[in-house]
Every structure is written in C-alpha cells, then in structure tokens.
Structure 1
Amino acid sequence: MSAVFDGHLDLAYNAQIGRDLTLPLKLLRSSDPLRGQTACVTFGELRRAGVGACFGTLFAAPSAATTHRSDAPDGYTDWQGARRQALAQLDQYRHWEDGGHLRLLGSGAEVAAHLDGWDESRPLGVLLLMEGADPLRDAGDLPFWHGAGVRLIGPAWGRTRYAGGTDAPGPLTDQGRELLSAMREHGVALDVSHLDDESFEEAVTLQPKVIASHSNSRALVPGNRQLSDQMVRAIGERGGVVGLVTYSKFIRSGWHDGDTRASFAQWAEHAARYAELIGWERVGLGSDLDGGFGLEKALEGMERYGDLLRLLDELPEGARAGVQGQNWRRWTEANL
C-alpha cells in the first residue's frame, strides 16, 4: 500500500496547547490537558496508519474574544502576537525533526524522494502550511517565512488583516492583494480553506497555484466555511486538490454537539460531490483531526486516527489510491 498523505494536521499547535505527540496515544489521552476533545493524533498513530506525509500547519490562534475555540484563551490580538505563536510552532517542528519524529520537506522533489519506497521506518514528511496570514508583518515578510520552509499560506481563518474568512465575510484587503502577488512571485501556494467567497474570487486570480487543504461541500452543508460548487470548479480548473475534513458539523447539515456523529457514508458523499465536479484525481484527505475538535465530533465508529481510512471502503475502487495520498503527492510534485 502506498503512503497516506493528509492535507491538514495542526501538529505544532497541539504541542503548543500542551499535548506531547511523541507519547503513545493511550498515555497522551490519560494526561491530556483538554477535556471533551479526545485526541487521535500522535506520531505513533500516524506511523501505524501509514501516513508518510502531510501539510503541517503554523496556526496562530486569535484571542478568545474573536474565536469560538475554547482551547485558545491566550490568543493573539495583533500581528506581533501571531508571529510569536508561529515562530514557536516553527521551532517545535525543528525540535521534532532533530528528534527524528519528522522530516521537514521543502519541494515536490523532496516529497517524491521521501515517499518513494516509504515504510514505517521513515519519519513523517511535513510541508509547512501557514493557516491564517496574520503572523506576517506584511508582504515584505514573505521571504523570511519562505526561507523558513513555508510553502502554502491560507490568508484567512476568521477575518485577518489580509482577507475575509469563516463567519467574517469580506474581500481581500490591500495588504491581502500585495501578499497574494508576493506569494505568486515566490512560489508559495494558496490554500483557500476559510476564505470568504468575496476574497476567494480575487485570490485565485492573483495566485492560481491553489488548493483547499481542508474544506467540505457547501452543497451538502451550508455556510461560508464550506466550498460552493463554483469555488470547487475554480480550484479544479487550476489543477488544485481539495481535502476532506472529518468534523461532523462539516459533514452532516444541522449537526450539533451531542448528536450522533456523522457516518463514513455521509463523508463519502462530499468526496463524490467533488468528484462529480472536478474528478476523483482532485480529491484528497484533509482530516484536520485534533484541530479544535476530537473524537467526540469526528466520525461515528472512529476510535483513533487510522480508522479514518475506512472512508476508502466507501469510494469507487479506482479512486481509493488517489484519495489516500497519490493525488496530494502528484500536486506537490507539480507545484512545489
């Protein structure tokens, strides 16, 4: 079996809030500082599930006053605070690399070399994705972050200084336009996950090297956090890939905390919707597991990370290897 490639994991953010991902899963859960968010992700679990590579995020959490995330009470209020968080997470990835838990990758060629003949003896390969661009002082700061290994940027999460985002409608700002142009010049790809429609429309013209690392279908679950069919087609027209999220609220319309979790079949409906619009070769995993939610809000029947691969059983046989990882691999080799 070829390696799994997950398009979105908040690894360093989880370390920042007190989780030691080097522990066995049982031990991590017994000492977890978060309650009501049962962890699924450790380096051991990823290795056991056959995950060879991922987009690992630098996610600076805004202050609790501007976000629903209860796990981020000490979030940032200005770009300096966002930068401190991102730099601390960058140091965490480097620390893990020094310890042999992962390998930071900087190009599609490095991804190919890392995944060729991959087995569990190799560390996790990580390409850095900045989720929310507030850690950048301005567009002139991009060379620093590119030099540090950032290869993808999502300008928004909620609203940022650069763009409208989830539950915060609005266009790109002047700073956002400058950043997108700089990203195109430096070869930093655009992650449109969390971008509001108005920002999306202009962003994909300024940097057409585009993906959605973790976004489900708005046709099945309304709201600007999901992708409309028009947005999906725009990504496909530019050769991009869309990653599927495991959060029940983004899988089944009307889902609320405490409801029966969404099913693998319902998750597969989002994959099929994307395949109908842009083909199975543009669909991948973007689990976002442990990204502000845990097992309680993931998929019914999941007990640990590796269980998410049961999704493949719901897909056409010819699509499974691509969704599992080959589609992300092909995109990175062609674009990074």
Structure 2
Amino acid sequence: MSSDAGMPYGLATRHDPQDAPPLWRVPPPLRPLADPPRPVPPLFPATAARSSCEPLTARRSRGYLVRLGSAAALAVTAVTAAAVAACSPVHVPAAPPAGTDPLTSTTVPVPPPDFVAIPDPCALPVQATLQRLSPGATWWPTQRTPRWSCTWVSAVDHQGSRMHRKVELRITIATDTSSDDARAVARAIYEDQRARDHATWGARYQAVPHLGEGAYSGYAERAATGESKTGVLLRNLVFDVTYRGDTWNPPGPDAPPQEALAESAARMGSLQLAREVAYALTRCMPCFSGTATFSGSAAPAGGVLPVNDLRRGTSHRSSGDG
C-alpha cells in the first residue's frame, strides 16, 4: 500500500525538495529568436534627394507612424513641426509709414493746419438757420485783414408787431510773431476778449464745452434790446457770433411798446450759429491753402435772405426762436 493511502481525496504527499525542486528555482531556458530584429529605417533616407524645405507626404508619414509606433509618431511630429517652421517664410516688418516714431513705432499725430484766410464769411453759417433767426435779412461782408466779418439785418412785421433782428459774425486770424506762434497769439486774444465779456455779463456768463479749444457765451440787455454772444477759439483763429433783437408792439395796455429778445432765444441762436461756423471752418480747404483772400471788387457782394414763415415767438412773451 502506498504512502498516499488514507489521505483525503485530492491531497498528495509532498516530495522531498531535494528530489523535485519547484519550477521557479530553475531558470527558464534561453530560447533563440526565430528571426533577427530588423533595423529601424532612418527618418530621412539618404536616397531621398530633396530640399530641406520639401514638405513630407502623407503616405510616407503614415508608413513611419505604423513602423515606429507611438514614440516614433511623436518624434516625427516634432521633426515635421520643426521643418515646417524652418521652411516658413520669414516675416520682415515693413518700414514704418511717414509720420511715425521709429523708436516706439507709434503714430505721431499730425497737427491740423493753421488758418490763412476766409474766402466768404457770409457763407459759413447754414442759410436755413439765418432765414429762421433773421428772416428777410440784408447781409454784407467786410474784410480788413486779419479780420473778416459778415452782418445780417432784418426788420419784419409779424402779427401787428415789428421785429428787428441782427446777426454779426466776426473772425480774427492770428499769425506768428517774433516771440510766439500763431496759436499762442490767438489764445491770448481769446482770453483777453473772454475776460472783458465776463466782467460785462457777470452772472450771465457761461462756459460752453465741446466747442473748439475754448468757448463761452453770455447775455445782456441794453435799451430794451437783448443780445447774446458766443466766442470761440479754434486753432489760430478767434471768432464770435452775436445775435440781438427787439420787438416793437402796437400801442395798447397789454404789452410794452418795446420788448427785448428773450435770453433763451438769443443764447440758442448765437450758439447754434457758432457751432455751424466752427464746423464749416474745419472743412474749408481754401482757408488753409491761402487761396481764399479777396479784396476790393473781388469781395462777395451782399444780398437779401428770403422771408420765411415766422415761427412762434422771439420776445419775452414767447417761448423762443425755434
């Protein structure tokens, strides 16, 4: 009877370790490879006579990726990116345009030109505005270099009253002196005029923003005549627009014989005309080139504005001119 008798089913007697050592103690036999390893082909074969900037074809790139695996794919991608970068055209920055600073490559703003002369001061305001503020006005220009002016005067009967309206535009162009440039001279003229007007108007003086390099307006009433003036500094030019008027009423107990132009109507009229003149001056090309001078018989002749239907009210008992 063998030594395994009486042992539970499925159990066997352990052999002596010296007789049968376990398999992990025996090193596995070295088996030779069936085929020798094939060499990895180079990324760029020597037989491919091509320029360093020749693009890689999709077929050849896919063959490399299949043979080399994921690691080789990363290498091919990096080499391809380097080749594309090396073959990309070099960006040469263009020369900076005229009027730029070569050190900072930022555009240097070119100052607008100075004014030289005014071809026709009477053509600067919008005619429709003049017809509304001074309907049927007779107008005439004057020119005494370096000053230009234009005047519109009207007297219109309206609802039994007689309305007098007057618009004055005066322009002064400053020039260079031995000590200051033209713009500094113009600012000095503007500041002197502004100080005198401020002293005259007192509390009715107001600064006007967003108009030229500086602007102001004011209102005064003299001998039952109301007037408002707007002064503007624009580069080397100073101009002012004055709008004044009164209304003569028929005799009666309800209204005084003479009424001054209301402050609101006078201010709105002079300010609107000043904005229109400033806009027209900045777009007057002959005013910059010096071809706008006129004198003697060459000066524009006067004229008469047509009489439009008057809108409601220009006196104290009305709401305004527009």
Q: TM-score range by the shorter chain?
A: under 0.3
Larger radius of gyration: 2
More helix per residue? 1
TM-score by length of 1: 0.21
TM-score by length of 2: 0.22
More strand per residue? 2
